[in-house]
Each structure stands twice: as C-alpha cells, then as structure tokens.
C-alpha cells in the first residue's frame, strides 16, 4: 500500500562493521603500494633483458613510480578533502589495480613506464588519505597508537616481503607476475572496502579548487630533474643539454614555489619551512633515502651480475636488511628515542649507515656474502633508527593546523629522495663501468669499479647527513599531554590526531593536504 503523501520513509540504519576489518582493508591497500616499491628491485635485470632497456634507462622502472607517487601526494590529499577520503581511497585502489594489470602485460619499455607512472598515481591517491581515515576510525589515543603501529608494521612487512617475493616470482615464473600478483589483492580489497569503509563527506570548510597548476609544476619539475640526472651519462655532465634540462627543472620548481606564496589554497604553504627541524629533517630524508635506495638497486646488480646470484637467491640475501629495519623500527626505536632523544638516535643511526656504506664501497670482484655483504646488510638496518627519528623531528615543531601538510611533505621528500638517489648513483656507476671497460678491464671488474664509485658517493651523502643533523637539528622540547610528560612520539601522535579533528571544523583547505 502506498504511503500517505505526508509520511516519510524512515532512514535506513547505516551498516556497521568491526573497525578491525576497516583497518585491515586500509592496511591491505597500503601493502600493495609498499610492496611495489621493492618487489621490482630484484626483477630489474630480467625486465631489462626482456624488454630491451639500456642500463641507465632501466632505473626509470623505479624512478617513474616514485616520481608520480611523490609528486602527486599533496594533490591527492587535497582532493581527498574536497571529495571525501573514502572516494579517494577507492579511486586510488582502482587506478593502482588497473595499472598493475597493464604493467604485467607490458611488451615494451614505453608501455611499462606509462603503466608504472599510473601505478604511482594510484598509490598516491590511496596512501594520501589512509592515515587520516585510521585516525578517524580510532579517535582514542591508546587505540590510535596501536592502529598506527599496525599500519607502520605493514610498511616494514611490505618492504621485506617485496624483496623476497620479487625474487621468488621472477625465478619460479617470470617478472610479469610481480605485477599481476596485485590483481587478486586489489580486486578483493576494492569490493569489500566499498561496503565496509564508512562514507564520508568533504571536509568541513573545504572550498575552492585543487591547485592543479601547482601539482603539474612540481611533478614536471621533479621528473625533469631526474631525467636530467639519468641522461647526463650520455650527454655528459658539462654538456649544454644536461644543464638545459637542469635549468628547466629548477625553473619549474621555482615557479611552483612562487605560486605557493601567492595562491589562495596552496598545496604546500611555505610557512612550514620556518622550522629548522621541519626543513632539516626533510633535507636529511632526501639525502639519506637517496643513498639507501641507490644502495638497494646497485647491490642487487652487484650480486646478480658480478657474484652470479639468481633472482630468488638475491631476494633472500637482502632479507636481513629489511628484517632488521622492521624489527628495530617497530620494537626498539620508540624506547630508544624516548630515552636518548630523537636527535641523538638520528645521529647514531646515520653513523651506522655511513659505516655500512663505506664498508660496501670496497667490495671485491670475488666477494663473499658472509664477509663482504652480510655485515653491510646488518649495519644498513640502522635505517630502522633513522627513519622513525626523522619522522619524529619532522613533526616536532608542527602546529596542529599544519600537521597534515607537514606529514604530506615528509612523504613527498621520501619518494623524491629515492628517485634522485637511484638516478644519480646508477648513472655514476654505469658511466664509470663504461670507462673501465674501455680501458680493457673485464666485465666483472668494470662493473665492480662502477659500484665502488656509486657506493662511495652514497657514503658521502650519509656522512653529510650526519654532519647536518648535528649542526641543524634541535632537540624537541618535552611535551605535556593530559598532565603527563610525553615523548616526542606521543606528542606527534596527539598533534596528528588533534589536527585531524581540527580539519573537520576549523582549518582552511590549504592546511589539510597530505
């Protein structure tokens, strides 16, 4: 029977699901994104041989993913504010899954690179809003800390799993499956997340347009910068072409900076750089991640092309580094930072990394894994101290209304540092190897000589980071939270939670990106 005209249909009760299920879905989406940052590493030689990449251009398989990811994080966070975080997360998962399929069926370098760029864009869309959704799910500080801890563990587990899975899949099947493995995870996560995650509205006060022009400028400038470094091998560092590309990249980045100073809703408000800790931590991250990502790619090439390791053997050989980083960052770093301070822990961790890279810079042609590589992999595990300390320092001076954008900046510099590091160290290594080969050295000797130069430059980057940390970084003051003295980690988590709550009511659109 039809209802009377004056009657109203009672509203449907929203479907409720356990918060743990929603957290699992967010972690599953992030697992795919993190996995693809490392799963490609071990398979690079196979990809290069199959698709016909040159030695220098092969680095773009990783670079273009990181550039798209890092360059679009700020824009993705802003779009999440404008259109809803759930919509942005689901759209990112969809883009990433489709791009993974395209990567898996790629038949040319151009097709693979285009699909990798699309993967990076999807990863930025999904990851830019994930942490904000977790904070909303778990507003209580104690529960929130555990949820963020689980989310962080997924990052460490994804990095570890990627190294092993990349080698196993490449050797057992072929490199195509390192991308196709994302399909079942992506489809299931997308379908379940569409029903389970709570629908959200655009953030209160989110008006205006996303700064598309700013996003284009910063992404274009960063991509051109990496391209200039990669092509310097063939053009020469002193050539007009190389300097023209560098000038173009710096010009685009300068235009981006000017736009951020003038536009009403900037992607990156320039006031965030007034803090020595914020600016210093981001500079340190670029240098440190550049060295670590360059190490990750080149040590794989050394093991496979010089020592003759297979893909699966390479993955398992590198597992101690990822495992150590995961164990240290999750089980030890918080206690050590709370006791000795983030600045002191950062310096100690950087010195460990510097020692490990310096030891690696003298690897012989007939190197032994136990003698020449395993000690390095353990020392590089010092990154498990460095990265949490950097995150703590980067957020230590952030005002509540700026916590979101400072977090977005930190994620961006991580991706850009990785892209630049892979491009720079791989280019230096290839150029040196070509020179030594021209002098009559054997292939193994020429390659090892190139790796020596690259790892020496990586050592210099890490040593410079330690010096900058001592000179620039200040020890954050102890923060009082709810009447109790808190460690910087507690203060950071509380500030982030406060900023997220404030997002919904008071801040401007520009302050809610990231």
Q: What are the pLDDT digits (tens) for 249-305?
A: 999 999 999 998 888 778 777 888 888 888 999 999 999 989 988 888 899 889 989
For residue 14, give both structure tokens: 């929203």
What does DSSP assign to residue 480?
E
Helix (H) or strand (E) holding 481: strand 479-481
What average pLDDT is seen over the chain? 78
* pLDDT higher than threshold 50 for residue 427: yes
Q: What pLDDT digit, counting tens, does each position of 233-248 carry?
A: 678 778 899 899 999 9
Q: Side-chain half-sphere of 403: how many Cα atoms within 13 Å?
A: 21
For the entire predicted model, the pTM comes to 0.73
- Sort 444 into a burial class: Cβ within 10 Å, 0-12 / 13-18 / 19+: middle
15 or 30, higher pLDDT: 30
Distances (CA, A) of 310 to 70, 104, 225, 307, 317: 31, 21, 33, 9, 10
Per-residue pLDDT of 217-233, as tens digits, reads 887 887 788 778 767 76
Helices (H), 138-211: 141-172, 177-180, 182-196
How much of the chain is in helix, strand and coil states, percent to nearest 5?
A: 80, 0, 20
């Amino acid at each position: 029977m039809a209802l009377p005209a004056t009657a109203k249909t009672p509203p449907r009760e929203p479907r409720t699901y356990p918060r743990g299920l929603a957290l699992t879905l967010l972690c599953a989406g992030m697992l795919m994104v993190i996995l693809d940052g490392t799963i490609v590493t071990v398979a690079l030689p196979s990809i290069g041989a199959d698709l016909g990449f040159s030695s220098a251009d092969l680095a773009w398989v990783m670079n273009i993913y990181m550039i798209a990811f890092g360059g679009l994080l700020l824009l993705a966070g802003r779009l999440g504010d404008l259109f809803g975080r759930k919509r942005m997360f689901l759209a990112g998962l969809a883009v990433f899954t489709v791009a993974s399929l395209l990567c898996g069926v790629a038949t040319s370098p151009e097709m693979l690179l285009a699909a990798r760029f699309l993967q990076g864009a999807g990863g930025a869309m999904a990851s830019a809003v994930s942490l904000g959704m977790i904070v909303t799910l778990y507003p209580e500080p104690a529960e929130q800390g555990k949820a963020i801890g689980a989310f962080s563990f997924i990052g460490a587990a994804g990095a570890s799993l990627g190294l092993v899975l990349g080698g196993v899949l490449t050797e057992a099947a072929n490199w195509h499956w390192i991308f196709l493995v994302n399909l079942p995870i992506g489809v299931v996560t997308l379908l379940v997340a569409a029903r389970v995650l709570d629908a959200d509205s655009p953030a209160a006060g989110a008006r205006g347009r996303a700064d598309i022009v700013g996003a284009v400028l910063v992404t274009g400038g960063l991509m051109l910068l990496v391209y200039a470094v990669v092509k310097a091998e063939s053009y020469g560092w002193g050539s007009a072409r190389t300097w023209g590309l560098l000038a173009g990249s710096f010009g685009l980045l300068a235009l981006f900076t000017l736009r951020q100073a003038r536009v009403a809703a900037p992607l990156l408000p320039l006031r965030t750089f007034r803090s020595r800790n914020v600016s210093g931590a981001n500079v340190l991250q670029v240098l440190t991640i550049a060295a670590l990502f360059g190490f990750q790619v080149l040590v794989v090439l050394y093991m496979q092309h010089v020592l003759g390791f297979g893909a699966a053997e390479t993955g398992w050989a590198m597992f101690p580094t990822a495992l150590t980083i995961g164990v240290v960052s999750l089980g030890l770093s918080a206690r050590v930072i709370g006791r000795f301070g983030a600045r002191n822990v950062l310096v100690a961790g950087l010195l460990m990394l510097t020692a490990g890279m310096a030891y690696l810079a003298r690897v012989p042609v007939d190197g032994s894994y136990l003698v020449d590589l395993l000690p390095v992999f353990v020392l590089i595990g010092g990154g498990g101290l460095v990265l949490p300390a950097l995150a703590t320092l980067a957020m230590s001076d952030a005002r509540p209304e700026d916590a979101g954008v400072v977090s977005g900046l930190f994620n961006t510099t991580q991706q850009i540092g990785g892209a630049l590091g892979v491009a720079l160290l791989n280019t230096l290594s290839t150029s040196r190897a070509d020179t030594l080969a021209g002098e009559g050295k054997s292939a193994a000797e020429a390659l090892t000589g190139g790796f020596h130069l690259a790892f020496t430059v990586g050592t210099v980057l890490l040593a410079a980071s330690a010096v900058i940390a001592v000179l620039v970084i200040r020890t954050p003051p102890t923060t009082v939270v709810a009447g109790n003295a808190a460690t910087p980690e507690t203060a950071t988590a509380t500030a982030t939670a406060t900023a997220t709550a404030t997002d919904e009511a008071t801040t401007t659109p520009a302050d809610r990106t990231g």
